[in-house]
């Protein structure tokens, strides 16, 4: 059985960071790819067989032998991220800053190859949230800490998240950027360890600060329409429904031009870190120009989406305008039981 998650092991002589390649749940052993760092040696990969014990569902403790022979030599290399796996970003914030946290989450999640973790969207109903948050921090490639005058005086689990992140940071190899303090105002973080890290300011220019964060991710950022701008330029919502006399369920995607000028929709698609599905029914071809106050609806059948994503994909649709702006969909909660589909005649509905 192959595992995608990585883990951290602290040796007696120097810290060791390793990723599990595969484990055998029956025998309780697995092959380990181990990247070793020290002041005396360069990083090098080793492979060995180790045993493990189960601490709780999804969390395992591995015992790594003390003497491991390198299999690739001692040429310095960077830790490798599994190809095909998105970069995992954990967003930590005080409740009073949830608006900024959500905006950051929306922008990061709009980037191909990035998966941002935001508790209000990522926690499942009935999930043990403390356990889930702890797992998410441990599995993250980067931890973004939102700092404000409200958060520095905040008590509770927010402080626990910081301590967990500092623990993970202490086990990272030299030069690895893991914890990114992001200031929402002129406040200074209280933890001494945080004062040693270069912070990024998300004020007065939120977008400029986000662009600096994205440089750390080493990925390309599309121009994303922020939620505060979205409310005055266009409305982009998604709901589930069926065509009359049809059993198949669809996601209906509606765009309303709220601006005072004509806009042109050039691309519409469904996006997850590992899926990209164009939305272009025969009777809803793109590009499509929308006059001020004009609405337009397209659709995507649920059976075109992977089963594990079908039920809750309201914020997974993306829309690109002719000026390069990309907007993120939101769930439509005010749809009546019956209604029309704006945008012209419907030629197909299977």
- The domain covering 87-217 belongs, at the CATH homologous superfamily level, to Toll/interleukin-1 receptor homology (TIR) domain (3.40.50.10140)
204 has a pLDDT exceeding 80: yes
Packing angle of the helix pair 206-217, 98-109 (nearest 10 deg): 50
- Does 194 score more than 60 pLDDT? yes
Yes or no: say if 217 and 114 are a contact pair by the CB < 8 Å rule.
yes
> CA 38: distance to chain centroid?
31
Closest among 19, 25, 24 to 4, alpha carbons compared: 19
* pLDDT score for 90: 97
Return the ∠ at Cα 7 (arms to 3 and 11), rounded to 5°: 140
| 173 has pLDDT over 60 | yes
Range with lowest mean pLDDT among 55-69, 280-294, 334-348? 55-69
Alpha-carbon dihedral of residues 26, 28, 32, 38, nearest 10 degrees?
170
**Mean pLDDT across 152-157:** 89
**pLDDT tens-digit readout, 223-273:** 444 444 444 478 899 999 888 777 788 999 999 998 888 999 999 999 876
Yes or no: say if 40 and 59 are a contact pair by the CB < 8 Å rule.
no
pLDDT at 245: 72
Domain boundaries, the chain: 6-63, 87-217, 227-331
Q: Count the neighbouring beta carbons within 10 Å of the beta carbon of residue 224.
A: 22
At residue 332, the pLDDT reads 87
Distance (Å, rounded) from C-alpha 178 to C-alpha 170?
10
DSSP code string of 44-94: EEEEEEEEEEEEETTEEEEE--S---BSS-S---PPPPPTTPPEEEEEE--
Confidence band, pLDDT 50/70/90 cuts, at residue 276: confident
Measured CA to CA, the distance from residue 45 to residue 34 in angstroms comes to 5
Taking residues 150-168, report their average pLDDT.
92
CB atoms within 10 A of CB 157: 14
How far is C-alpha 120 from the geometric centre of its chain's CA atoms?
Answer: 13
Q: What is the pLDDT of residue 232?
A: 47
Q: Is 266 left (phi over 0), alpha (psi -120 to 50) or beta?
A: alpha
Chain centre to alpha carbon of residue 228: 20
**Separation CA 233–CA 17 (nearest Å):** 47
Q: Domain 227-331, what architecture?
A: Sandwich (2.60)
Q: Does the reported pTM lie above 0.75? A: no
């Amino acid at each position: 059985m192959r595992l995608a998650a990585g883990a951290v092991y602290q040796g007696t002589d120097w810290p060791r960071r390793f990723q599990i390649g595969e484990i055998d749940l029956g025998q309780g052993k697995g092959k380990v790819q181990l990247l070793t760092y020290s002041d005396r040696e360069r990083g090098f990969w080793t492979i060995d067989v180790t045993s493990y014990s189960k601490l709780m569902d999804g969390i395992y403790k591995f015992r790594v032998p003390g003497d491991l022979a390198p299999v690739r030599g001692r040429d310095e290399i960077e830790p490798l991220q599994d190809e095909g796996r998105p970069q995992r970003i954990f967003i930590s914030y005080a409740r009073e800053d949830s608006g900024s946290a959500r905006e950051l989450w929306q922008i990061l999640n709009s980037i191909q190859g990035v998966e941002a973790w935001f508790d209000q969207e990522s926690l499942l109903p009935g999930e043990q949230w403390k356990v889930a948050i702890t797992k998410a921090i441990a599995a993250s490639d980067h931890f973004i800490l939102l700092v404000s005058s409200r958060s520095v005086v905040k008590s509770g689990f927010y402080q626990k998240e910081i301590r967990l992140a500092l623990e993970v940071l202490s086990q990272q190899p030299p030069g690895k950027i893991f914890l990114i303090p992001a200031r929402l105002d002129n406040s200074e973080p209280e933890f001494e360890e945080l004062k040693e890290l270069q912070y990024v300011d998300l004020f007065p220019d939120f977008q400029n600060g986000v662009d600096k964060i994205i440089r750390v991710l080493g990925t390309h950022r599309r121009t994303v329409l922020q939620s505060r701008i979205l409310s005055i330029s266009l409305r982009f919502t998604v709901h589930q429904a069926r065509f009359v006399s049809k059993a198949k369920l669809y996601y209906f995607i509606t765009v309303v031009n709220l601006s005072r000028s004509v806009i042109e929709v050039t691309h519409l698609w469904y996006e997850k870190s590992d899926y990209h599905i164009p939305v272009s029914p025969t009777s809803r071809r793109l590009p499509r120009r929308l006059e001020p106050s004009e609405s337009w609806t397209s659709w995507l059948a649920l059976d075109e989406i992977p089963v594990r994503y079908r039920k809750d994909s309201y914020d997974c649709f993306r829309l690109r305008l002719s000026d390069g702006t990309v907007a993120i969909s939101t769930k439509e909660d005010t749809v009546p039981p019956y209604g029309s589909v704006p945008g012209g005649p419907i030629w197909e509905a299977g």
